Amino acid sequence: MAIDVINPATGELVKSYELMSQETVMGMIDTMADVRRSWQETPFSERHLLFLRMADILRRDCREFATIITEEMGKPFKQAKNEIEKCAWLCEYYVENAEEHLQPQFIETERKKSYTCYEPLGVVFAVMPWNYPIWQVMRFAVPNIMGGNAGLLKHAPNSMGAALAIEKLFIDAGFPHGLFRSVIADVDVVPAIIAHPEVTGITLTGSEGAGAAVASEAGKQLKKVVLELGGSDPYIICEDADIDLAVDACVKSRYLNAGQVCIAAKRILVLDGIYDAFMERLLEEAKQYTCGDPMDEATMMGPMARADLRETLHRQVSESVQAGASCLLGGEMPEGPGCYYPATLLADIPEGCPASTQELFGPVITVWRMPDIDEAVKIANETAYGLSAGIFTTNLEEGERIARDLLRAGTVSVNACVSSDPRLPFGGIKRSGYGREMASAGIREFMNLKTVVVD
């Protein structure tokens, strides 16, 4: 059997990949475990040099990596290049900070010496998505391998080229062969991977259903899991907001990567006093986002990643409009090759329709008119998800108070798009998952926090 990767801009076959057998995968993990035990003894000074070399390769070969991303999942080439640069920054961040993040912490007790220290757990298994096919993998792999673990990747089926390119990247940078491996396999091998005794942690970024399935398997094996799942992220636009700033942030957040972003602005809650002026400016700005060839650096929006994703999104939009939502822009399935979907804007959204109850993973802006800030906060929190949120106001003190004390999410941003940053912990609450990636929290997730006491 094989996995076919299809270019979503053209509908043409990119490449076919033969599936590995379960026996092959199990043997791969056995080898990785031996390599990892040796890697654990490698001093940080040597690890630093390898990750700096990796950052250099990412920048040197940026166009090659970006081309793989664009061909496999349709991201505009300029955005794909930005993804690669961010990966290089991630490497440099952990070179500068990993050793400090993992320093022993001495604690004053009646004993002669009491402290905590960190030791790597083993092989960390990652199930990763296609929307940021290299960044998502690197933000799991870099901190874990810097910390002394090994990394095993099961990538999305339409990102097999990216998966193998990352494996090659580790080899080209000089890391031990087998420290990072990519599995070309179906989901039916995932339970066996999780059950392997050398796999000591599992991380997944993806859908709520996939997260629940992987967490269930990990629970059977009593293994730790980090999950970054879906979101229904609200942006509150206060009456004193800078309209141009808010509109620019909302449009960029929602139409970036054709709306296929977990932390995109998925519900825009606009206070009544500013609603009409905001909507006029929002519609004007949204019209600037047109679809085009993703390899053209002038293109603002490429295709969606797969035909089935586009069909699901169009069904959600159509059902919402049939239920009474106003479609102010887009909302029609385009003709021609590829998985393109136009920039779409929905307003007057009734309760119970897909646009109000489901995550729309595509280029669809949804807007609600709010009578006051209390109602906006209430609606913002009335969701099963809790990945991120935003608030726009010129009253920074009040905006910070609402962000800190009232909005329920893993990340809340005031007057800016929510974005991931290697220096800041990232993750969600409720059905958006648990655990954190990046910063000090990310490198410690799959480490044993060991207490040592000396009398």
- Looking at 198, 217, 228, 285, which residue is catalytic? 228
How many whole angstroms separate alpha carbon 173 and alpha carbon 168? 8
**Antiparallel, parallel or unpaired: β 344-347 and 364-370:** parallel
Residue of 262, 339, 353, 417 marked catalytic: 262
Instruction: Give me the phi and psi of 289, to 5 degrees please.
Output: -90, 100
DSSP 107-138: ---SSSEEEEEEEE-SEEEEE--SSSTTHHHH
CA separation for the pair 403, 413 (Å, rounded): 7
CA–CA separation, 139 vs 121, rounded Å?
A: 18
C-alpha 143/C-alpha 92 separation (Å) is 11
State how far the Cα of 10 lies from the Cα of 147, in Å rounded to an integer.
41
- Looking at residue 387, the DSSP 8-state letter turns out to be S
Of 125, 144, 124, 141, nearest to 133 by C-alpha is 141
Respond yes or no: is residue 445 known to be catalytic: no
Structure-token pair, residue 157 = 């089926």
Q: Is 291 an annotated catalytic residue? A: no
Residues catalogued as catalytic: 228, 262
